[in-house]
Amino acid sequence: MLKIVLITGISGSGKSVALRFLEDAGYTCVDNLPVRFLHEFIASTREDELERVAISIDVRSPGELAGLPDVITGLRAQGTVFKVIFLDASDHTLLQRYSESRRRHPLTDRLAQGGKTPSLQECIDTERELLAPLRNQEHVIDTSDLTPGQLRAWMRDLIQTDRAPVVLTFESFAYKRGVPGDADLVFDVRCLPNPHYDRSLRPLTGRDEPVAQWLSQFGSVGAMIDDIGGFIRRWLPLYMQDTRNYLTVAIGCTGGQHRSVYVVEQLAKKFADHSPLLIRHRNQPPSHVP
């Protein structure tokens, strides 16, 4: 069966890294495909009996992006296995990346009027408006504090999942770095006892047994995990009925190292019966739960 991955998102968010990873993973990749050629291209891939295809469509692609969500919906209705991954990053991160690379934003020339060149921020704002319909209905990965290696690992986990069920993701993060933009539900566990103040536990993470044993002794930690798990267990069926394909539950603590990591690991055990299930730690390599 033909499997198609569409990479889209904000310029500077890591689409080139994602597309190169898919190429290395054996996908036939096409960058900057015009929207009007999407149907024709997919038909040709079936004729060529290709099994895995990756396509990149974003603001560089000629044509009307506003119609892309309807095109995707129509292809899925025809039985096409279509996974859309939207890469995003904070404005601060994008501005920093453009400054380091010294590249021009792809909308610079298009938005220029009367000899006046638009600012980078104006280009980013316009791009967000153009891509908002796609971002609001597909899976989002916020790459603001991800290394290229982490992004490749997250891509690997995601393309291994089937599209039919809701992909449930538990993700830990550090509040000192901001709430990740790919989160659907956010829970704050900074009120829990903090292993950071124990010098022997400080260099460890919530995945390490000494930290897990230390946290498990507190009734408040178990109660928090049970409450979050109960909330998700109760409402997950309605999220699944809401025609969504992904649900990302973000758990945050101050440094994203101990409490949030431990809570994510415990929640993943509670929902081990759900498939596909992903675990992500923004400060550590992610893992996949079959």
What pLDDT was estimated at residue 242?
61
Task: Please report the domains of the chain, with CATH numbers, ordered by start residue.
Answer: 3-159 (3.40.50.300), 167-289 (no CATH)
User: Based on the number of CB atoms within 10 Å of its own CB, is 47 exposed (0-12), middle (13-18) or buried (19 or more)?
Assistant: exposed
What pLDDT was estimated at residue 249?
97
What pLDDT was estimated at residue 205?
95
What pLDDT was estimated at residue 196?
95
What pLDDT was estimated at residue 243?
52
Q: How far apart are alpha carbons 7 and 281 in whole angstroms?
A: 22
What pTM does this model have? Answer: 0.68
What pLDDT was estimated at residue 60?
83
Q: How far apart are alpha carbons 182 and 117 in whole angstroms?
A: 31
Least Cα distance to 161 among 252, 33, 278, 18 occurs for 278
Q: How far apart are alpha carbons 141 and 280 in whole angstroms?
A: 11
Q: Could you check whether the bond before residue 276 is cis, i.e. omega within 30 degrees of 0? A: yes
Walk along the chain (290 residues) and give the pLDDT tens digit of each residue: 788 999 999 999 999 999 999 998 889 999 988 888 888 888 898 888 888 899 999 888 766 787 888 888 888 888 888 889 999 999 999 999 999 988 899 999 888 888 799 999 999 999 999 898 888 767 899 999 898 988 988 898 888 765 456 889 999 999 999 999 889 999 999 999 999 999 999 999 999 999 999 999 999 999 999 999 999 999 988 887 665 678 999 999 999 999 999 999 999 999 999 988 999 999 764 444 43
